[in-house]
Amino acid sequence: MDSIIMLFLCLILGFGLQYVKTFPKNAHLTLNQFVIYISLPALALFYIPKIKLNAQLLYPLGIAWLGFLFSFIFFYLIGRRLKWSNKLIGCLTLTAGLGNTSFVGFPVIQALYGEEGLKTAIVVDQPGSFVVMATLGVITATIYSKGKTEAKTIASKILLFPPFLGFVAACMLSIFKLDFISDVQTVFQKLGSTVTPIALLSVGLQLKIDKHSQHWQFLRFGLFFKLILTPAFFYIFYKLILHGKGLVVDVSIMEAAMAPMITGTILSASYGLKPKLSNMMVGVGIPLSFITLAFWYFILNTF
């Protein structure tokens, strides 16, 4: 419960700081860079060396990878048909294709399914959402922000992306079954825990509630895809087609129903992909997701 309270408190504080004249106007840019260069690599170095993969975990891994592919194809086809700009297509692909599988997902899953459910949630998040954001997310942001698809441009963006470097280092530790000493792990854990408050403060600082904004129609489109279509896709695929059962499958589908990823929003905004819409996807999506999550929890426990 304390994690949920912190989510809303940081978002509200960030929104309120917009009206404090002595607070730097571009503070969100610095906060974004701190998350990208410090918090996310620390998170990877703490969690990934501890993850042990097996065949059963293909379900949670599929949530992030297949979910992002679904988003990429969906918004590419819809965007081209409706003649959307590249920046709009890229924005919705990133924000609706990446789920908040940790900062909202972890406390919700732990509350509903306990520690066993949390183990599955970590797999959805770290080798799933986190890696997709650091690879496919960066590729998408690069393509739609500048229209450049050269292999060198994309490769350099990924290889120089700090969270990806942290992920590679963490994977090497995992392969050789190594980990940092406990004191260093504690440092990484504390640095990684700064993602939620700092990222949400940044989102709040950029969140503008304009009733007449042209972004509302696209916001509704993006959130409908993320909160309804995506979990529906995985419910049909995992439950009805693959006949998956058990805790791992249920937790995976619940993670698919989470609000847009905070750091995915920061990635989108950092590349100039409709920053206002990106932040609205999180600012509106997080509170709204608690209603839709209750709906999907009911579906999973009834049918």
Return mean pLDDT, the chain: 88
Query: What's the longest Cα–Cα distance across the chain?
Result: 57
Fold of 2-302: Na+/H+ antiporter like fold (1.20.1530)
pLDDT recorded at residue 17: 93
Tens-digit pLDDT profile for residues 44-64: 899 888 877 666 678 999 999
Alpha helices in the chain (DSSP H): 2-17, 27-34, 40-47, 58-82, 86-97, 105-123, 131-132, 138-146, 151-159, 162-175, 182-192, 195-206, 215-224, 230-234, 247-256, 262-270, 275-302
Q: Is 99 helix (H, G, I), strand (E, B) or coil?
A: strand
Q: pTM for the full model?
A: 0.82
Higher pLDDT residue, 213 or 231?
A: 231
| Confidence class for position 147, pLDDT limits 50, 70, 90 | low
